[in-house]
Structures are given as structure tokens and as C-alpha cells.
Amino acid sequence: MRETWVVGAASNRFGKMKESGREAATRVSMQAIRQSGLEPKDIGYTFVANCFGVAEHQAHVGPLINNGLGIPDVPSVTVESACSSSSAALHEAFVQVAGGFVDAALVVGAERLSHLDTLAATSYFAIAADYPFETHNGATFPGLYATLASAYRQKYPTRDEMFGAVAVKNHANAARNPHAHFQKEISMETYLASPVIASPLRLYDCCPFSDGAAAVVVAAKEFVKSPVAEPLVIRASARSGSVTDMQDRPDLLGLPATRTAAAKAFRQAKMEPKDIDFLEVHDCFTTAEVMALEDLGFFPKGTAAREEFEGTTARDGKLPVNASGGLKAKGHPVSATGASQVVEIFEQVNGLAKGREVPKTGTALAHNVGATGGSCSVHIFTRR
């Protein structure tokens, strides 16, 4: 396999987009390509993530993005893996580049759903669960994650404030991130006073519905003669899956796909959790961040909530988690989320994360989950 780098990464501001998903995707792709020092003609393949294009009456956006970039003859494909779509697209790009099929590839994720109300958006999202068994019976993602949260809290006694600490931290980080949907801090009092959405999850435990677009350019080391930005070396690109339905899982205390993807990734990178300086994890709900840190192997089961509360995962803590604000506060435009985690890591490494810098940027991990864990990607990056 060839050593493969992330050489460019760009995101727009998450929240509400005036332009379409396709227009935003083209714009951030151009920014990421420019930043890489490459040209559109250097791209050998475009991997697109756009789960809910149908909500904009537009499928098959890859060729349209490539047309916009002036490279209509370049092949493209849309990768769908629910909320982990753009990290799945990154994995496919890595395989193509590391395997020598193309020298450089574009990964771009975009979503626009803000023209829908909460009920309609919730219904669209819910089709990523098991339709006949879960969705058809009224399950929604807040409901499904509340089931996981209830099981966790029953087994491991935790106080509301421990999850509140995740929300307060991620909002504080997002307040310093110009790409973030919510750029305002919240207090623990605000968290505790917020309404229950699906017990035990409150409003501030939940990620919002966001529009957004993010792009990443991946290239072979030997193809990039002189990188204009500090590249991220992809040391591991691992994916895993697991049983989707709650009723068929051996336990509800975490996500098996995270555990297996993490094990693969650490094996590929020849690293252990203690080697990672900072990470972006899939915190669609605050409880998901806590469970992810345990499933990824950073903390023993049942202990991560306390670590969050004690500040271990703060931006200036021992293990900074979601310095971007995470899905919780940076926002979660489903198909852009995985790519945007890489944008954050790229910006941290390149000194572009002004005002939200983490202390050490030698190694980083990105963790992105599809739905309630039917799929999962874990990527590990280092400096050259």
C-alpha cells in the first residue's frame, strides 16, 4: 500500500444554508482542492456522501459536482452509510489511493434539510433504522439513543451533571469554531433546565438538525511533491458493522461496531489509545460521546462520564475530545459529519483552529457512526 495523505480539507459554516447541497458541496470541494495545492484535473475519483439528496429532489450529485469543478470526465460514486457516509467515502478514497488505482481523490459530503420541519426531518432520518422493526413502530433516533442511554445509566449510576458536562464542553468549543452551527456557550443550569426530548435525553443532550458541507482531498505521498499545508498521514482507515436492531443486541451498553472498528484501526496503525493526542468522536447525543470513549478503549466501561465531568476531555485537558464542538454543537449535517471531523483535525494540525487549539497535535483519531451503530469508521492520523 502507498502512504496516503490528507492534503486539503474545507468546510462551510454548519446551520442553515441558503444554497443547495450540491452547490455547497462544489464550493467546499474547490476550497479543499485549492488548499491542497493540487488542481481539479489531478483528482482521479470523487466520492460523494449525500444521504438525503432526495429531500432536495436531487440524486446522483457526483457528476454535477465534478461538472462544477470542470472535471466532468472524472468518475464519481455516492457512498451511503447513514451518519457515517463521508467517513465511509474517505475509506473508499483511501483504498483507491493507497492501492494505486488513482493518485488523488476527492471526498465530499453535503446535506440540506433545513427546509423541512422537525417532524419531517425526524422521519427522513429514521429510515436509516430498521424500517419494519423500528421505524414503522415509531422509533426515532432520539428514542433509540434514549434506550441506549437508559440501559447505560441503569447499569452505571451517573448523575445528570456528568452528561451535562459533555454538552457544556462541546458548546464552549463550538463557540470558538467559525464552522459551528451553535456558536454560543451554555451553562450547567441551562442544560439542567432544558426540556426532556426522549427520557433521559434533554434538549442539550441532542445534536441539532444542520445543513452543511465538508470536503477532504486525499493523495499518495509520492504524488504530492511539495504539500502546501501540513498533511495528515492516514495511518489507519478501518470500518466495521454490527447488528442494527436493539432487540437483537447482546447488550445496550455501547456500540459493538465501534469496538471492532477501533480494534482494527489500532492494529493497522500499530498504536494504542494512549498514543492518541486528541480526537473527534460521534456525539450525536452526549451519552454517545461517553459510550464511544469507552468503546474506543480510552476509559474502562462505566467511567467515562466521570472523566468528562472532571475535565479530562476538555480542550486543554489530558485527552481533548471534540475540540470542534462535535455533532452536539458544531452540528450534524449527516453526510458532511465524517469529513468535517477530518477538517477539524487538519485545522488543528495546521494552526488554523484559532482560539480552540489543543495542546498536542501529533496524532489524532476520528470516530463516525452510522445510525445506532450498524456501521462505524475509525481513522487514525499522524503528522509526517
Ligand X SMILES: CC(C)(COP(=O)(O)OP(=O)(O)OC[C@H]1O[C@@H](n2cnc3c(N)ncnc32)[C@H](O)[C@@H]1OP(=O)(O)O)[C@@H](O)C(=O)NCCC(=O)NCCS
Q: How are strands ordered across the β-sheet holding 45-49?
A: 76-78, 45-49, 104-111, 212-220, 4-11, 232-241, 375-382, 363-370, 278-280
Q: What is the largest CA-CA distance in the chain?
A: 57
Do residues 382 and 268 lie in contact, with contact meaning Cβ atoms separated by under 8 Å? Answer: no
Q: How far is the CB of 282 from ligand X (least distance, A)?
A: 8
Pick the stretch among 118-126, 229-237, 289-297, 318-326 that binds ligand X (CB under 6 A): 118-126
Q: According to the binding rule CB under 6 A, does residue 239 interact with ligand X?
A: no
Site string for ligand X, 139-168 (x = CB under 6 A): --xx--------------------------
Q: According to the binding rule CB under 6 A, does residue 212 interact with ligand X?
A: no
Q: According to the binding rule CB under 6 A, does residue 284 interact with ligand X?
A: yes
User: Can you tell me which of 55, 188, 203, 271 binds ligand X, judged by CB under 6 A?
Assistant: 203
Q: According to the binding rule CB under 6 A, does residue 220 interact with ligand X?
A: no
Query: Pick the catalytic residue: 83, 206, 207, 376?
Result: 83
Pick the stretch among 2-10, 206-214, 311-319, 347-355 that binds ligand X (CB under 6 A): 206-214
How many chain residues bind ligand X (CB under 6 A)? 15
What is the rounded CA–CA span in Å between residue 342 and residue 214? 9
220 vs 281 by CB, closer to ligand X: 281
> How deeply is 136 buried, as exposed, middle or buried, from its count of CB atoms within 10 A (0-12, 13-18, 19+)?
exposed
Do residues 288 and 145 lie in contact, with contact meaning Cβ atoms separated by under 8 Å? Answer: yes
What is the rounded CA–CA span in Å between residue 284 and residue 282? 6
Q: According to the binding rule CB under 6 A, does residue 207 interact with ligand X?
A: yes
Q: According to the binding rule CB under 6 A, does residue 116 interact with ligand X?
A: no
In sequence order, the 6+-apart residues with CB closer than 8 A to the CB of 216 are 6, 8, 9, 32, 86, 90, 93, 106, 107, 108, 339, 342, 343, 346
- The amino acid sitting at 293 is L
User: Can you tell me which of 18, 57, 73, 118 binds ligand X, judged by CB under 6 A?
Assistant: 118
* 256-269 helix and 286-295 helix, angle to the nearest 10 degrees: 50
Q: How many CA atoms lie within 13 A of 146 on its CB side?
A: 14
Residue 49 bridge partners (DSSP) = 109
User: Can you tell me which of 52, 163, 191, 209 binds ligand X, judged by CB under 6 A?
Assistant: 209
Q: How far is the CB of 162 from ligand X (least distance, A)?
A: 18
Q: According to the binding rule CB under 6 A, does residue 346 interact with ligand X?
A: no
Q: How far is the CB of 16 from ligand X (least distance, A)?
A: 10
Pick the stretch among 4-12, 202-210, 290-298, 354-362 that binds ligand X (CB under 6 A): 202-210
- The amino acid sitting at 281 is V
202 vs 315 by CB, closer to ligand X: 202
How far apart, in Å, are the Cα atoms of 13 and each of 108, 220, 276? 15, 29, 27
Q: According to the binding rule CB under 6 A, does residue 332 interact with ligand X?
A: yes
Site string for ligand X, 66-85 (x = CB under 6 A): -----------------x--
Query: Pick the catalytic residue: 171, 179, 332, 367?
Result: 332
Q: How far is the CB of 234 from ligand X (least distance, A)?
A: 25
What is the rounded CA–CA span in Å between residue 190 and residue 87? 33
H or E segment and range at residue 161: helix 160-174
Q: How far is the CB of 17 from ligand X (least distance, A)?
A: 15
User: Can you tell me which of 58, 114, 122, 190 binds ligand X, judged by CB under 6 A?
Assistant: 122
Our answer to whether residue 332 is catalytic in this structure is yes
**Hey, is 216 helix, strand or coil?**
strand
User: Can you tell me which of 79, 97, 104, 197 binds ligand X, judged by CB under 6 A?
Assistant: 197
For ligand X, the binding residues (CB under 6 A) are 83, 118, 122, 125, 141-142, 197, 203-204, 206-209, 284, 332
Q: Which residues are catalytic?
A: 83, 332
